[in-house]
Amino acid sequence: MASLNDFVETAFDLSYLNFPKYPATEIKSIGILGGGTAGYLAALALKKLHPKIQTSVIESSKIPVIGVGESTTTEIVPFLHRTLGIDPQEFFQAVEPTLKLGIRFDWGCPGDYHFNFNFFAGHQQESYYYEDHINNANWASVLMDHHKIPVIREKNGEMISLLQSIPFSYHIDNKNLIGFLNKIVKQRQIPIIDAVVEKVHLDDNDFVTSVETDDGKRHSFDLYIDCSGFRSRILGQALKTEFISFKSSLRNNRALTFDLPNNNDIRPYTQCTTMPNGWCWTIPMRAENHYGYVHSTDYCDEAQAVKEARERFGHFEKYKMVEFRTGRHKQAWNKNVFGLGNAYGFVEPLESTAIQTAVHSIMTLCKLMPNNHQDSSSIAAINQEIAATWDTFRWFLSIHYKYNKQLDTQYWKDCRANTEIGDAKMVVDLFNQRAPLSASNLGTNSPYTACEALVFNSYSYDTLLYGQKVLEKPPIRPKMSKEEYVQRTLSYQELTKKSLTLHELFAEDYLIEGGLLEQLFEDQDTWIVETEA
């Protein structure tokens, strides 16, 4: 006979609410066109999260990889190592990434001015009120200014790592990353078809029936994921999916890329430098820096871009010019095709969103995977979620251009006068009304709620708007006294004096041989947790 405890246990049993995160589907096969970063990450995620789907990659070894430095956001760390289960030690040995605490923006105000955008919360209001800048808002920012990381060496030689508490991302050489992911894809027995897709065959309703490769073979799948880069071979070319331009917000269309040695000064941040006709990234790798002068051909030709880059960073001979357009297709999922990465859209390299948007789209697809091609509700939800994310990034990035006052060239005058910032205008107005935004509990109707689950939340907007000095009125006196604020900044300085540089971390191999990497991922309180969509 059941006891009272049995009845209580039944009454409070909520196990029936444990729905599967990744729903079953009638889709049995997926073909991924393109084996770059987005394609390989999608293949690995589908293999892990939807193992019953037969996933294949079609790529050609004849198509070269764009070998530039890749700056990432914090999503990549848990996605690679928690969601995909990629061993951190194996990753570090093969890819040789450096650690990124954030972005240093040489941006906002005229002269020798910069502000730091990092991944850790802090007291920006106090820093701005007492010092008229935000670079002492947290320890991560002070570390960035001193080219240090949160690993402390005590007098007795003991190493104390606080990497588990300070979020970071990776700087990655794209060729190294793609080579490593290719190896993992093969290890996990995901078929790779080495061929060039020459034809896309459609039925009378514009569904893809097969793709034909240069060896004359046809390959048919239930779903096609287009990872063909800016060519958008299926989503754009074959299906002619409408493209929505972002040029009114993001006018750049070229990046002049080149490398220079860094002489062991491996900085723990991406640097974004205001240039006469755009801006230039500096991505530190272990032996060299990767640069990219992002500009618009409406203002600057190739010769002028090379001249300006050499004047600012030093002489280089070899360089590449990468062409792009900003915008997105109206639908990520159209018919039986899903566009991913640059095949779907591109915003700007400015906030390192390329891999972040790919990861978000992959996780959205996996979590909302339609039951079949007639599951219009799931398909609509996927399209809406991904479009809203990209539009959020568009408006966030547009603020960088609208309010950057560092140079007065025609390019920057036009940016300030004519950049469309869309929904971000509400955020700017709100900031001027009740800064800081991160101190406000505004609920789900806040105009920046759409990006709260992403990197660019209310704290991110505070960083950008304080950093560019967009505040139109004197800042409100903070609750923290100046004495308290100074004491905090002194503690940051003292910790920083004992901290390592990235060169010291790698030269002594403290990460792997010293056990810091293992400690980081085994720590129960680490910020590195499994990725959610």
Confidence of residue 456 (pLDDT cuts 50, 70, 90): confident
* Cα–Cα distance list, 175 to 260, 471, 515 (Å): 17, 42, 27
pLDDT of residue 532: 58
Give me the mean pLDDT over the 100-105 stretch.
Answer: 98
Any idea which fold 29-96+172-243+327-388 has? FAD/NAD(P)-binding domain (3.50.50)
Contacts of 305 (CB under 8 A, 6+ apart): 254, 256, 277, 293, 295
Q: pLDDT of 118-144, one tens digit each?
A: 999 899 999 999 999 999 999 999 999
Give me the mean pLDDT over the 96-113 stretch.
Answer: 97
Residue 443 has pLDDT above 60, yes or no: no
Residue 452 has pLDDT above 50, yes or no: no
What are residue 30's phi and psi, to 5 degrees?
-130, 130
Give me the mean pLDDT over the 450-456 stretch.
Answer: 46
CA 142 – CA 147 distance, rounded (Å): 9
Give me the mean pLDDT over the 497-504 stretch.
Answer: 97
| H or E element in which residue 411 lies | helix 410-418
CA 493 – CA 487 distance, rounded (Å): 10
pLDDT of residue 130: 97
Q: What is the 3-state secondary structure (H, E, C) of 263-331?
A: CCCCCCEEEEEEECCEEEEEEECCCEEEEEEEECCCCCCHHHHHHHHHHHHCCCCCCEEEECCCEEECC
Beta bridge partners of 80: none
Give me the mean pLDDT over the 203-223 stretch.
Answer: 97
CA 92 – CA 94 distance, rounded (Å): 6
Confidence of residue 65 (pLDDT cuts 50, 70, 90): low
Q: Where are the domains of the chain?
A: 29-96+172-243+327-388
pLDDT of residue 351: 87
Torsion of CA 399, 400, 401, 402, to 10 degrees: 40
Confidence of residue 8 (pLDDT cuts 50, 70, 90): confident
Residue 448 has pLDDT above 60, yes or no: no
Give me the mean pLDDT over the 437-442 stretch.
Answer: 72
Confidence of residue 69 (pLDDT cuts 50, 70, 90): low
What is the pTM assigned to this prediction? 0.93
DSSP string, 190-258: --EEE--EEEEEE-TTS-EEEEEETTS-EE--SEEEE--GGG-IIIIIIT---EEE-TTT----EEEEE
Residue 17 has pLDDT above 70, yes or no: no
Percent of the chain with pLDDT over 90: 86
pLDDT of residue 280: 98
Assigned token pair, 282: 């500096």
Confidence of residue 371 (pLDDT cuts 50, 70, 90): very high
Residue 162's region, left for phi above 0, alpha for psi from -120 to 50, else beta, is alpha
Q: Are strands 151-153 and 159-161 parallel, antiparallel or unpaired?
A: antiparallel
Sign of the alpha-carbon dihedral angle for 362, 367, 373, 374:
negative
pLDDT of residue 259: 96
Give me the mean pLDDT over the 245-271 stretch.
Answer: 97
Confidence of residue 16 (pLDDT cuts 50, 70, 90): low
pLDDT of residue 56: 98
Confidence of residue 442 (pLDDT cuts 50, 70, 90): very low
Residue 505 has pLDDT above 70, yes or no: yes
In whole numbers, what is the pLDDT of the chain averaged over residues? 93
